[in-house]
Structure formats: structure tokens, C-alpha cells
A and B are shown apart, each in its own frame.
Chain A
């Protein structure tokens, strides 16, 4: 009974998220409807958590947040029905699969079922999640739920820094609001949230590839992503790395879709998902900057708005850059900021006024500079990072998922369409900024470097792995062509 009620409680934000995405981007292609549904899972959960945060300031100790969620759901439903009525019937597409597609989809289904059972098995054996879940996210949920009138005590400076009371609250608040709606603590809430993010991350990758490439490529995406035990287990550990990976992947795909459909709403949505990444984990704030940089670089590469005249080459190049910056980059940054504003303003206020100082920055400037200048630290980080990139995913003892993707790209790569080149530039730039930022954090960490690296490097690579898989598969020939 509790499980069914919990599912019902999660349906409200999940479906609201899907409808919000559909209202903003009313594309009706069937594969895109699936994409929007899976995107809506993360966006719905993220926005619901932000709303609960605001709600607590005024109504902590009262228990009617679920009715607010219901009201929002009904309003969005009314708008969606109104919009869809005007547009006429939605016709179901005919599914004409080739033999290769049927085989690949069948294998993908087997991988999905086996890994889904793996997630279920892990969740049932670790109902309260793993170490970081007790330490941060579920602990924060307990502080907020158990003493709601004094929920701000969750961010007490008296708390031992190892419990990371400065961490953003997306997961913790959703768990607390789920318990609030149930009227009791139930592990089903955090278990379901964890599984939902895993499913959503898989869903957006598969539906995006199905829409952009083919059913075969989408099946291969599923085989690679859900055939990666590290990722599957992470979906059951109730930690923030897979939700963060979901938001990073969403942002990259939305920017890619922008260069396909040229709808500014997609950049707005990418701003929203980047902002929600910052509300999920501290690395998400770094990602917000990375996406900003990626948009600047990508839109500078977008086709010129006007042809360069054959006058003085230097002045014409400069003029071209200025024109591109004004005509392409500034509007893109404006749409990005529009989507980013709501979640990121809350993240900034949380960090400035509520959260205790972050332990990562506790070394001070002098000690940090000393550490940055230590060559052995650089070598150790590079060694760990290189090893993780090579073996990531627990595939085999000889190679991991990333080298397999790399070789796949070498053998299957396609000449990249000029129109889509900025999408790849954006994706690669955001990955590079993210990795560079993480590298910087390891350099200045106040903890023992070896311990810090061995404790977290796998999850750092996990956060970006789905984007690597997406970019490689989007830029490659589909398997249907070689069978």
C-alpha cells in the first residue's frame, strides 16, 4: 500500500514536469514525446524540490504541500488539454522495424531487464542507500522532516563538516516532502526517487537517439548505458551523482536539439536543467559556468549571420566576431539565463544565507596555491583520472566503456553536418570545463589526495559518461548500415 501511495505521490511532480516541457516545446513527434516525458521526470522532481524549499520558509510544520503539487498538476493538465484540443488528433506512428533493429532492440530489452533486476536487488538490500546517502541526502531529509518547525537547524554550523550540510537540497527535500505527504518515514520514497532518476537518464538518452538517429542506435545507447554496472548500481545508491548525470545529459541534449530545431525554448530548458544540476550537487554550480562557456564558444561557431566581405581580412574577421557575438551569443545567453534564473537564484541564496562554508575551500589561499604548485599532485590526479577513464564501468578487466566508445567512434564516425558542429563543440566544451574544474578541486582539496581520489573519481567520470556516450553515438553511423 505504501509503495502504491509513494508512486502516486511521485506521479504528481513527474507528470507536471512532462506537461511543463510539452507546453514550452509543443513538438508532437512520437519519439520526442517520450523524450519530453523522461525529461519531465527530472525537471518535475527538481522544480518540486525548489517549491518545497520556498514552501518551508512560510509553512514549515503544516502538511499541505501535496495539495499544492496537486493544484499545479491540475492547472498544467488543463493547459495541456486546452492546447492539444486545438491541435487535433495525435496519430500513432507505424512501427516498421528491420531485422537488425528487432535483434538490437531484443538485446537491449534483455540488458534492460537484467539491469533493472540488478537495480531492484541493490535497492532492496540497501533500502537506506549507501554511505553518502546516510551522510548527506537522507540525513538532511530526516533533519527537515523530523523537526520541521526548526528545519533550518539542518544547516547548523555545529554540524561536523563531513556531513556536508552545505550540499544542495534537491534529493533531501524531495524525500522530506514525500514523507510529509505520506505522514511517515518510508524508505520507498528515497528508493523510488533514486530509481526514477536512473530510468530518466536512460530514457532521455534512448529517446533522443531514436529521434536523431535510429532505433538501432537508440538500442545500442541502452546496451551501453545500462550495461555499465557502475551506472546501474549508482541508480540504487540514493546518491546525487546519477541525478547530476541526468541533468548534465539533459542540458547537452537540449542544446543539441536547439541546433536541430532552432527553438529558443530549448536553450531556456537547458538553462533550467543546468540550474537544477546546481541544486543537486556542488559540481552542478561548476556545470552552470561550463554551459555558459560552451554556449559562447558554440554560438561563435554557428553560421555567420552575414557573409564576410572580401575587404581587409583582419577587420572583416573582427567584424564577423562582433556581429556573431551580438547576433548569436547574446540572445543565446539571454535564453540560457532565463531558464537558469529560478533554480540558480535559489542555489545562490541557499549558499549565501543558509549553508555552512564548504569543506573543499577550507584550506585557505596560501595552502591552496602551495598545493597547486606541487607537481606530484598533478601527476597523481592525472594517473587516477586516466585509469578511471580507461576502466570506467566495470565492463571487463581489459577495457572499460569509454575506450569501447572511442574505438566505436573511430570506426563508425560520420562527417559532421556543418549545422550541427556547434552542438558538438558545446558538448565537448562543457565536458572539458567540468573535468578541468574537478581537476582543480582535487588540487586544492583539504583531504588526503589519494583518499579523495579513490573515494570519488569513479563518480566524477560517471557524471559525464552519459554525455560522452550521447555525443559519440550521435556523431556515428548507425548499426543498421553495417548489418
Chain B
């Protein structure tokens, strides 16, 4: 008899926990942001002009952000996320960190760009786009 009651209590507990968790989860999904905001789409739009400027549709380009600029401040989580997003929106172009390629992307806030440009003066032809996006074209040796 006790076992039967324990079984009923457990069954009830599982049902309550499951219902509670699923309702909480539905409510919490609102915290992910508005249905109309798509951060990936925003990132896509941000890089569209840069993609159009590149003279090829496939190949490898370099990528730098504030974390590659000594002395610049950055948030490491955002930095990594932005790198992943940039590869996603630039596909099928392959992105490598650094500026070893002929064409390189700079995802730099004004202060980081200022520091970077001081130490790389004259080495790159610079194209600036909206949203702190830059395209650096290596100038011949």
C-alpha cells in the first residue's frame, strides 16, 4: 500500500516538474529577443558592401579584430562570436586570422583602428565601410 502511494506521489511529481519546466521554458524563450530582430541578418547586411568590394567570390581573406591589436580593449566572448559570424556571412570565402593575405578584413572599433593604423601605416590600402568594418589591401613590397 505504501509503495502504491509512493508510486502515485512520484508520478504526480514527474508530471508537475515536467509541466512547470515546459511552461517556464516557453516564457523564457521571450528573453531571446524579438522575433523581428535577427543578429545574423544584421551582420550579413554589415558585410555586404565589403563582399561586393572584394575582387573574388572564393578564396582566402585575412581577419583581424581588436584582440589582434596590442593595446586595444575588447570582450573576448564577443570577439570570438563576431569572428564566427563573419566566417558565416562571408561563406564561401575562407577567413584566416591575421593580415597575411592579400585582402584582409578589419572588424575594429575606432580606437582599435587608430592603434592598428599607426603601426601598419603605408602597408595597406584601406577601404572603410559602415559599422566599423574595413577592408585592407596589401600594398606591393
B57 CB to closest chain A CB, in angstroms? 7
Contacts of B58 in A (CB 8 A): 147, 150, 153
Q: Is the CB of B92 within 8 A of A107?
A: no
In the complex, A394→B35 CA distance in Å? 24
Contacts of A407 in B (CB 8 A): 10
Contacts of B20 in A (CB 8 A): 395-396
Residues A396 and B26 in contact in the complex (CB < 8 Å), given A139-B87, A150-B58, A479-B11: no
Contacts of B85 in A (CB 8 A): 134
In the complex, A422→B7 CA distance in Å? 27
* One of A2-10, A88-96, A220-228 contacting the partner: A220-228
The residue that B92 contacts in the complex, of A117, A125, A142, with Cβ under 8 A, is A142
Judge whether A291 is part of the interface by a CB distance below 8 angstroms. Answer: no
Judge whether B128 is part of the interface by a CB distance below 8 angstroms. Answer: no
Q: Mark B110-122, 1 if CB is under 8 A from A, else 0.
A: 0000000000000
Judge whether A411 is part of the interface by a CB distance below 8 angstroms. Answer: yes
Contacts of A158 in B (CB 8 A): 60, 94, 96
B26 CB to closest chain A CB, in angstroms? 4
Contacts of B57 in A (CB 8 A): 147
A191 CB to closest chain B CB, in angstroms? 12
Contacts of B22 in A (CB 8 A): 111, 114-115, 118, 226-227, 229, 232
A381 CB to closest chain B CB, in angstroms? 24
Q: Is the CB of B26 within 8 A of A118?
A: yes
Residues A114 and B40 in contact in the complex (CB < 8 Å), given A147-B57, A483-B8: no
Q: Is the CB of A146 within 8 A of B40?
A: no
**Cβ < 8 Å to A, chain B residues 1-45:** 3-4, 6-8, 10-11, 13-15, 17-26, 28-30, 32-35, 38, 40-41
Contacts of B10 in A (CB 8 A): 404, 407-408, 411
Considering residues B18, B19, B33, B88, which has the most beta carbons from chain A within 10 angstroms of its beta carbon? B18
The residue that A139 contacts in the complex, of B8, B24, B88, with Cβ under 8 A, is B88
Give the interface SS of chain B, mostly helix, strand, loop or mixed: helix
Residues A124 and B35 in contact in the complex (CB < 8 Å), given A131-B81, A146-B91: yes
Nearest B residue to A134, CB-CB:
B88
Q: Is the CB of A115 within 8 A of B14?
A: no
Judge whether A270 is part of the interface by a CB distance below 8 angstroms. Answer: no
A184 CB to closest chain B CB, in angstroms? 14
Contacts of B21 in A (CB 8 A): 227-229, 393-396
**Cβ < 8 Å to B, chain A residues 434-481:** 477, 479
Q: Is the CB of A227 within 8 A of B18?
A: yes
**Cβ < 8 Å to B, chain A residues 82-121:** 107, 110-111, 114-115, 117-118, 121
Total interface residues in chain B, CB < 8 Å: 44
Contacts of A131 in B (CB 8 A): 81, 84
- Size range of the chain A interface in the assembly: 35 or more
Q: Is the CB of B38 within 8 A of A127?
A: yes
Give the interface SS of chain A, mostly helix, strand, loop or mixed: helix
Judge whether B97 is part of the interface by a CB distance below 8 angstroms. Answer: yes
Nearest A residue to B44, CB-CB:
A128
The residue that B25 contacts in the complex, of A115, A139, A142, A223, with Cβ under 8 A, is A115
Q: Mark A207-230, 1 if CB is under 8 A from B, else 0.
A: 000000000000010011011110
Judge whether A53 is part of the interface by a CB distance below 8 angstroms. Answer: no
**Cβ < 8 Å to B, chain A residues 124-160:** 124-128, 131, 134-135, 138-139, 142-143, 146-147, 150, 153-154, 156, 158-160
B62 CB to closest chain A CB, in angstroms? 11
Judge whether A375 is part of the interface by a CB distance below 8 angstroms. Answer: no
Q: Is the CB of B8 within 8 A of A404?
A: no
Q: Is the CB of A159 within 8 A of B94?
A: yes
The residue that B26 contacts in the complex, of A117, A147, A220, with Cβ under 8 A, is A117
**Cβ < 8 Å to A, chain B residues 27-81:** 28-30, 32-35, 38, 40-41, 57-58, 60, 81
Judge whether A122 is part of the interface by a CB distance below 8 angstroms. Answer: yes
Judge whether A163 is part of the interface by a CB distance below 8 angstroms. Answer: yes
The residue that B23 contacts in the complex, of A114, A233, A408, with Cβ under 8 A, is A114
**Cβ < 8 Å to B, chain A residues 383-416:** 393-396, 404, 407-408, 411-412
Q: Is the CB of A228 within 8 A of B91?
A: no
Contacts of B35 in A (CB 8 A): 124-125
Q: Is the CB of B25 within 8 A of A111?
A: no
Contacts of A115 in B (CB 8 A): 22, 25-26
Nearest B residue to A229, CB-CB:
B25
A258 CB to closest chain B CB, in angstroms? 29
Contacts of B81 in A (CB 8 A): 131
In the complex, A125→B23 CA distance in Å? 17
Nearest A residue to B101, CB-CB:
A158
Interchain residue pairs with CB less than 8 A apart (26): A111-B22, A117-B26, A121-B29, A122-B29, A127-B38, A128-B88, A134-B40, A134-B84, A142-B91, A143-B91, A146-B92, A150-B92, A158-B60, A160-B95, A162-B84, A163-B84, A163-B87, A223-B14, A226-B18, A232-B25, A233-B25, A395-B21, A396-B21, A404-B10, A411-B10, A482-B7
Chain B interfacial positions (CB closer than 8 Å to A): 3-4, 6-8, 10-11, 13-15, 17-26, 28-30, 32-35, 38, 40-41, 57-58, 60, 81, 84-85, 87-88, 91-92, 94-97
Could you list 4 further interchain pairs (A-B, Cβ under 8 angstroms) beyond the known A131-B81, A408-B14?
A111-B19, A160-B96, A408-B10, A483-B8
